[in-house]
């Protein structure tokens, strides 16, 4: 195994590991699923404040596993989860907080049922129906591949619907043998956005400034955190937006965040998406790779979050049918691009120092998501479903004061790649 040669600074009580409470995290907020680079909003109705909504996690297979909180109806009480993810206590509250107009829909018979609102008179119905099915199938296939690789961990599903239309399927694996935490969230939204927001992205026919324009959006989002420091974290998000005024777009991408560089891994990951892009347009890969390098930047550190991939947004420069084919191929390449890399490294030997370095890099992941990710920021400000908003965060992250790496070490090599994005294929 690789042995890190890291220079250890003096500690004065400022080092430590921060365990992110994640016992009931299930998936990214639906808004973040629609866009990692914009913040569409929808007015959320409130349920009566005296009774919290019911939400029961249903395992996709096997029995419920440790670390996942099962919420039950409560009257004027709240559930709390300990930092270890183990104990649950109920505490008195004056009144339950307002709840979104969202209800659980975990009947097994509805597992594959469409979440699209019916009777919506705008947008290309065939396109959104096809893309929803693409995303549902991709969620199923990716969950299956990760469960097979893990061998022990199982995804649990929380299916929900909104009374105003739309809903989602949130799936999470916690404390698996290979994966520390993995969340995959499918969301379908129906709402209205200000004219000014949509008009920036196209001509809004039949509407004027000050109007609110109905829209439908859908997306599949995921963040996967393996245990082994030589197995990289991976994120993907693919989405479609349609509005009543005729403005529409596709967007999304897949990116990878290792703690250590394996050049063969990077060639495989980037090579997979270059082949996908080249099959549709030779300009896609260099354009989308550059877009990812520029978006996933931790500005206050002067580092990228990871080693890139592809990222795109507002894509409507060609017929929707052509873009549907591209984004279908892209989301269907997640397993091919990522699973072989984790399989290669899941049993690698590692040192405590290398595990600490992984924790440090996951700390950087937390910084980006909480400080810069627009979907996360929007969701927290709007007091949406916090569990889904924070699904992307790792169970454990580390912040050590003035952490330094030794020149010439593997840690220094990847740190240079974070500061100076490289070409891998």
* Nearest C-alpha neighbor of 284 from the set 296, 269, 274, 292: 274
Query: Using CA atoms, how far apart are residues 410 and 401, in angstroms rounded to an integer?
Result: 20
Q: What does the alpha-carbon distance between residue 304 and residue 365 come to, in Å, rounded to a whole number?
A: 10
Distance (Å, whole) CA 305 – CA 258: 9
Sort residue 252 into left (φ over 0), alpha (ψ -120 to 50) or beta: left
- Tell me the C-alpha distance between 347 and 354, whole Å: 14
Which is it for strands 58-59 and 156-162: parallel, antiparallel or unpaired?
Answer: antiparallel
Provide the 10 A C-beta neighbour count for residue 347: 10
CB burial of residue 271 (10 Å; 0-12, 13-18, 19+)? middle
User: How many whole angstroms separate alpha carbon 392 and alpha carbon 395?
Assistant: 9
Bridge partners (DSSP) listed for residue 216: 190, 242
**Is 235 marked active-site?**
yes
Burial of residue 151 (CB within 10 Å: 0-12, 13-18, 19+) is exposed
Cα(410)–Cα(46) distance, integer angstroms: 51
CA–CA distance, 308 with 221 (Å, rounded to integer): 16
State phi, psi for 198 to the nearest 5 degrees. -75, -35
Structure tokens at 349: 């030997």
Cβ atoms of 22 and 395 closer than 8 Å:
yes
Note whether 1 and 350 are within 8 A (CB).
yes
* Among 225, 235, 268, 270, the one annotated catalytic: 235
Which residues form the catalytic set? 235
């Amino acid at each position: 195994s690789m042995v890190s040669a890291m220079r250890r600074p003096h500690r004065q009580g400022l080092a430590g590991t921060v365990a992110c409470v994640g016992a009931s995290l299930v998936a990214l907020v639906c808004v973040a699923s629609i866009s990692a680079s914009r913040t569409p909003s929808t007015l959320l109705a409130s349920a009566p404040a005296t009774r919290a909504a019911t939400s029961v996690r249903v395992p996709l297979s096997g029995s419920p596993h440790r670390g996942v909180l099962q919420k039950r109806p409560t009257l004027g009480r709240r559930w709390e989860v300990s930092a270890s993810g183990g104990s649950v206590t109920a505490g008195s509250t004056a009144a339950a907080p307002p709840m979104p107009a969202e209800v659980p829909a975990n009947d097994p018979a509805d597992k594959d049922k469409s979440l699209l609102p019916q009777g919506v008179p705008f947008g290309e119905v065939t396109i959104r129906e096809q893309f929803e099915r693409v995303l549902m199938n991709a969620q199923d296939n990716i969950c299956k591949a990760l469960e097979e690789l893990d061998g022990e961990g199982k995804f649990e599903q929380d299916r929900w619907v909104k009374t105003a239309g739309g809903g989602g399927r949130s799936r999470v694996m916690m404390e698996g043998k290979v994966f520390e935490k993995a969340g995959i969230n499918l969301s379908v939204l129906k709402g209205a956005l200000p004219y000014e927001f949509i008009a920036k992205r196209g001509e809004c026919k039949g509407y004027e400034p000050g109007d609110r324009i109905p829209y439908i959006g859908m997306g599949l989002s995921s963040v996967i955190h393996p245990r082994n420091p030589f197995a990289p974290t991976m994120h993907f998000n693919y989405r479609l937006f349609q509005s009543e005024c005729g403005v529409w777009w596709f967007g999304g991408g897949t990116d990878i965040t290792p703690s250590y560089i394996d050049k063969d891994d990077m060639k495989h990951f980037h090579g997979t998406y270059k082949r996908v892009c080249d099959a549709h347009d030779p300009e896609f890969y260099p354009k989308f790779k550059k877009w990812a390098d520029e978006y996933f930047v931790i500005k206050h550190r002067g580092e990228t979050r990871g080693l890139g991939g592809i990222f795109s947004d507002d894509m409507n420069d060609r017929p929707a049918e052509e873009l549907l084919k591209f984004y279908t191929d892209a989301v269907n390449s997640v397993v091919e691009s990522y699973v072989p890399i984790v399989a290669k490294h899941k049993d690698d030997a590692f040192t405590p120092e290398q595990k600490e370095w992984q924790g440090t890099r996951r700390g950087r992941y937390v910084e980006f998501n909480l400080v810069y990710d627009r979907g996360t920021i929007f969701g927290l400000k709007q007091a949406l479903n916090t569990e889904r908003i924070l699904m992307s965060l790792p169970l454990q992250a580390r912040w050590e004061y003035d952490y330094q790496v030794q020149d010439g070490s593997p840690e220094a090599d990847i740190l240079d790649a974070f500061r100076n994005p490289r070409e891998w294929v």
